């Protein structure tokens, strides 16, 4: 027989277990909910560009056993080139406005031309995800009716446009393929003097690599895009390179090649690429929403006039016009105010202000330090979404892809024939047809 003390001990143990059991179950339930919430939250995070792992960086880094110059960048190029694609676009030719005329249609049918066959334009692109997203220039896929992507391993696929942003000249297209190799984005800022390798399809000769250095960063005011923050390089960039990759010595993406300064149509050692910071912003917006939403102040501005002969220079941006009911007007900003800083960032010129504001989302509040009638003041401005504006025309001196034929680009603006000219053309064609029939 068990003693009363043993029975009491067992009873106490069971009581303690029953007392703590609900708390243990509660902790298990809380842990399960925490794990579920964390999983759902991580799944809803914004898409991030691919990053190069430390192991990949070490494997593709230039290696030299002696202080002698590096003799090859084969490892970096081999890894990066498999993520660069060639893009071919075609645009169907519009039917002639008089194709329904029975006489004139007969003339068109006798011509040795293929209805609907348009010119083929060349460009390049960069794979940014395993499931088929590709970044390129907006002007590469502009007005394209059909987009064909050729991969480095010989495969080809049709692509569809996910979204374009003409203001930055960037676009995202997608192919129905998986298991692709995305190109890792460089995380550290690129520096002047760093090595640069441009990879693309110049003149349609096939994938080509050219070498140079980073000549400058933060280039603005070129008049190419509305929002400019270019990397300048002397790596040869030619027609067909548009949308291709500019990579560093480790094969990491630093920019998307877009334009060149040229008087001959070929490279003259001054090329420009869109940096990955801007690419990432635009790419994420296009993939998520199909469009890019930018902040807007609602003012017209100009940089402060500077006299190069003076030792003291004046910085800041003068407000020339305030849009009624715009964000700046609502904040109290006035014509004649000089914006010195925004969020403690010095506004050295108008381009810097435009780029800074454009990278901020709508509904964000900016703190501006201004100079008004010789006195400093602080103004808080809540940004609104930038309204859609007309597309900037690219300068002739800048390379923006292969030019379209005159007919193709001007078909919509070509004036129609008058009725008198049309009747005269009908009579001449009828005579030609009758003579042709007599000879036969």
| Active-site residue identified among 139, 167, 168, 234 | 139
Tell me what the mean pLDDT of segment 290-306 comes to. 81
| Active-site residue identified among 242, 262, 267, 303 | 242
The residue that leads in pLDDT, 383 or 269, is 383
- Structure tokens given for 61: 């880094």
**Of 355, 394, 358, nearest in space to 166 by CA:** 394
Range picked from 53-62, 105-114, 124-133 for highest mean pLDDT: 124-133
Is a pLDDT exceeding 50 seen at residue 133? yes
Distances (CA, A) of 36 to 41, 42, 48: 9, 10, 22
Instruction: State residue 270's pLDDT score.
Output: 86
Distances (CA, A) of 185 to 126, 197, 249, 258, 280: 11, 14, 13, 17, 9
**213-228 burial string, b = 16+ CB within 10 Å, else e?**
ebbebebbeeebbbbb
309/177 Cα distance (integer angstroms): 60
In contact, 246 and 77? CB cutoff 8 Å: no
Instruction: State residue 400's pLDDT score.
Output: 43
| Active-site residue identified among 60, 129, 168, 169 | 169
pLDDT of 390-408, one tens digit each?
544 444 334 443 333 332 3
Instruction: State residue 112's pLDDT score.
Output: 46
Instruction: State residue 336's pLDDT score.
Output: 87
Q: Does 139 participate in catalysis according to the annotation?
A: yes
The 3-state DSSP class for residue 375 equals strand
**Of 235, 279, 261, nearest in space to 138 by CA:** 279
Instruction: State residue 395's pLDDT score.
Output: 41
Distances (CA, A) of 217 to 109, 225, 341: 55, 16, 21
314/418 Cα distance (integer angstroms): 60
208/239 Cα distance (integer angstroms): 12
Q: Does 242 participate in catalysis according to the annotation?
A: yes
Beta strands in 252-358 (DSSP E): 253-260, 271-275, 295-296, 299-303, 317-322, 338-342, 345-346
The residue that leads in pLDDT, 167 or 5, is 167
**Of 125, 156, 158, nearest in space to 140 by CA:** 125
Could you count the other beta carbons within 10 Å of the beta carbon of residue 164? 24
Beta strands in 180-333 (DSSP E): 195-200, 208-219, 230-233, 245-247, 253-260, 271-275, 295-296, 299-303, 317-322
State residue 22 phi and psi, 5-degree precision: -60, -40
**Of 169, 422, 186, 361, nearest in space to 283 by CA:** 169
**Of 79, 49, 84, nearest in space to 61 by CA:** 79
Check: pTM over 0.85? Answer yes or no.
Answer: no
Predicted confidence band of residue 254 (pLDDT cuts 50, 70, 90)? very high
What percent of the chain is modeled with pLDDT above 90? 25
State residue 365 phi and psi, 5-degree precision: -95, 125
Torsion sign, CA atoms 347, 385, 228, 76? positive
Instruction: State residue 56's pLDDT score.
Output: 75
């Amino acid at each position: 027989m068990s003693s009363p003390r043993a029975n009491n001990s067992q009873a106490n143990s069971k009581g303690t277990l029953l007392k703590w059991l609900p708390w243990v179950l509660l902790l298990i339930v809380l842990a399960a909910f925490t794990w579920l919430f964390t999983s759902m939250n991580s799944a809803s995070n914004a898409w991030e560009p691919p990053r190069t792992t430390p192991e990949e960086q070490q494997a593709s880094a230039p290696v030299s056993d002696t202080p002698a110059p590096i003799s090859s960048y084969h490892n970096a190029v081999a890894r990066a080139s498999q993520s660069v694609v060639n893009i071919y676009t075609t645009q169907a030719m519009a039917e002639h406005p008089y194709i329904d005329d029975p006489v004139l249609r007969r003339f068109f049918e006798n011509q040795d031309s293929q209805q609907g066959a348009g010119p083929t334009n060349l460009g390049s692109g960069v794979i940014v995800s395993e499931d088929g997203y590709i970044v390129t220039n907006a002007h590469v896929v502009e007005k394209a009716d059909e987009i064909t992507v050729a991969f480095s391993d010989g495969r080809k696929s049709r692509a569809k446009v996910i979204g374009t942003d003409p203001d930055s000249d960037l676009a995202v297209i997608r192919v129905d393929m998986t298991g692709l190799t995305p190109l890792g984005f460089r995380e550290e800022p690129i520096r002047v003097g760093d090595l640069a390798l441009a990879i693309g399809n110049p003149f349609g000769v096939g994938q080509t690599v050219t070498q140079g250095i980073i000549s400058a960063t933060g280039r603005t005011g070129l008049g190419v895009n509305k929002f400019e923050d270019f990397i300048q390089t002397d790596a040869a960039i030619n027609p067909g390179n548009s949308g291709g990759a500019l990579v560093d010595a480790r094969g990491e993406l630093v920019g998307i090649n877009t334009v060149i300064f040229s008087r001959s149509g070929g490279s003259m050692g001054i090329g420009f690429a869109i940096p990955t910071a801007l690419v990432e912003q635009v790419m994420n917006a296009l993939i998520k929403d199909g469009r890019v939403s930018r902040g807007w102040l609602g003012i017209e501005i100009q940089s402060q006039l500077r006299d190069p002969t003076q030792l003291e220079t004046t910085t800041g941006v003068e407000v020339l016009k305030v849009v009624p009911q715009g964000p700046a007007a609502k904040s109290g900003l006035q014509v004649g105010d000089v914006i010195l800083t925004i969020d403690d960032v010095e506004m050295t010129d108008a381009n810097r202000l435009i780029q800074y504001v454009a990278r901020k989302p709508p509904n964000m509040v900016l703190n501006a330090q201004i100079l008004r009638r010789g006195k400093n003041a602080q103004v808080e401005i809540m940004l609104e979404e930038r309204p859609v504006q007309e597309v900037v025309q690219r300068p002739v001196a800048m390379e923006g892809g292969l030019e379209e034929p005159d007919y193709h680009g001007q078909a919509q603006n070509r004036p129609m024939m008058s009725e008198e000219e049309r009747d005269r053309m009908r009579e001449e064609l009828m005579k030609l047809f009758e003579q042709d029939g007599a000879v036969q």
